[in-house]
Amino acid sequence: MASRFDVRRQTGFTTIAMICFFALYLPIVTLVVYAFNSGNSIAVWEGVSLRWFYQAWNNSQVVDAAIRSLQIALVAATIATIVATMAALATTRTKPYPGLGFKYAFINQPLMVPEIVTAVALLIFFSRIKIWTGYSGLGYLMAAHTAFCIPFAYLPIRARLESMDLSLETAAADLYATPWKAFRRVTFPLLWPGILAGLMLAFVISLDDVVITEFVKSGGQDTLPTYMLGQFRRFITPEINAISTVFLLISILIVTVFFFISRKKDHE
């Protein structure tokens, strides 16, 4: 008997898909492998060593940039998640009211404008404020990062809220809970996977940003990505591979947690 006819099959699709997965991972794997090269080259393999990881660890520029990246990402992601949670509470589970559409558009605005345009706009705006106030600290980068992190934090929180029933909060209010108490005791325990997902997403987005940071930063304010971008102009050693590998590991870790939190919700 002939094998069952598979209606889903399309000739060649599986092959192309396999090529895609291979092509997606080959460069990343190459990058990671050469981070362990003992030679000076990112092209000629000379043996396994951890010297480039040591070198990066002892490079004060790299460490400073990494700390700065983490500081900015922590502040930006935390503030963005708090205000995005509030905004999500204000824009879900309601009948349409005047200004609701405007809020959606406004909150998602940073996603719709090309990054380079926002970067230029912030360069112009902040350079003026720097002259007026004389302040040139990390605050500008934190403010810029917070703004573009808000939509990323907002989306998973809103998605989670929309799948939640209002009746529990109504019950809490009937039992004379204040709105804050109802939020803390009822809404938050149900909402936290969404909030955590939003926080992590915002954190990764802030950590990854190159373009806006490159335009907004003052002298000596390199983050890890802008430091790496600067290095590409010079002779590249596997040190960059080593930094990338660590960076990659952190991202993968966060994304893995995020992926399983958001998937779990779907299967519940």
Partner 1 sequence: MASAEQVAEEAERREIRDRWLLSAPALIIIFLAATGPLLIVVIYSFLTPGPYGGVVWKFSTDGWLSVLMQRDIFDDTLAFADAHLSIFWRSAKLSFLTTILTLLFGFPTAYFIATRPARQRDIWLFLITIPFWTNLLIRTFAIQEVIRNEGLVNTVLIKLGIISQPIQMMFTDFALMVGMTYVYLPLMVLPLYASMEKIDFRLVEAGYDLYANRFQVLRRVIIPLVKPGIIAGSILVFIPALGAYVTPRVLGGSKNMMLGSLIELQFGQGRNWPLGSALSLSLMAIVMVALLFYVRSVGRRDGAHG
User: Footprint of partner 1 on residues 214-233 (CB under 8 A)?
Assistant: 215, 225, 228-229, 232
Nearest approach, Cβ of 191 to partner 1 (angstroms)? 14
Q: What CA–CA distance (Å, rounded) separates 163 from 194?
A: 11
Q: Which of 73, 75, 77, 91 binds partner 1 (CB under 8 A)?
A: 91
Report helix angle 60-91 to 100-112, nearest 10.
Answer: 160
Q: Which is nearer to partner 1, 52 or 148 (CB)?
A: 148
Is residue 259 involved in binding partner 1 (CB under 8 A)?
yes
Q: What CA–CA distance (Å, rounded) separates 230 from 236?
A: 11
Q: Which residues have a Cβ under 8 Å from the Cβ of 55 and sit 6 or more positions away?
A: 239, 242
Is residue 22 involved in binding partner 1 (CB under 8 A)?
no
Q: Which stretch binds partner 1 (CB under 8 A): 50-58, 93-101, 161-169, 190-198?
A: 93-101
Q: Which is nearer to partner 1, 135 or 232 (CB)?
A: 232
- Give the 3-state secondary structure percentages of the chain, helix then strand then coil, rounded to 5: 75, 0, 25
Q: Which stretch binds partner 1 (CB under 8 A): 29-37, 50-58, 60-68, 188-196?
A: 29-37
Determine contact, residues 242/35, Cβ cutoff 8 Å: yes
User: Footprint of partner 1 on residues 154-183 (CB under 8 A)?
Assistant: 154
37: three-class secondary structure by DSSP: strand
Q: Which stretch binds partner 1 (CB under 8 A): 6-14, 48-56, 58-66, 155-163?
A: 6-14
- Kindly state the number of chain residues that form the binding site for partner 1, as judged by CB under 8 A: 91
Nearest approach, Cβ of 167 to partner 1 (angstroms)? 17
User: Footprint of partner 1 on residues 190-219 (CB under 8 A)?
Assistant: 204, 207-208, 210-211, 215
Would you put residue 199 in left (φ > 0), alpha (ψ -120 to 50) or beta?
alpha
User: Footprint of partner 1 on residues 65-84 (CB under 8 A)?
Assistant: 79-80, 82-84
Is residue 2 involved in binding partner 1 (CB under 8 A)?
no
Q: What CA–CA distance (Å, rounded) separates 240 from 149?
A: 26
User: Footprint of partner 1 on residues 103-162 (CB under 8 A)?
Assistant: 103, 106-107, 109-110, 112-127, 143-144, 146-148, 150, 154
Q: Which is nearer to partner 1, 26 or 67 (CB)?
A: 26
Q: What CA–CA distance (Å, rounded) separates 197 from 266?
A: 14
Give the closest residue to 62 by CA, choosing from 189, 213, 247, 214. Answer: 247
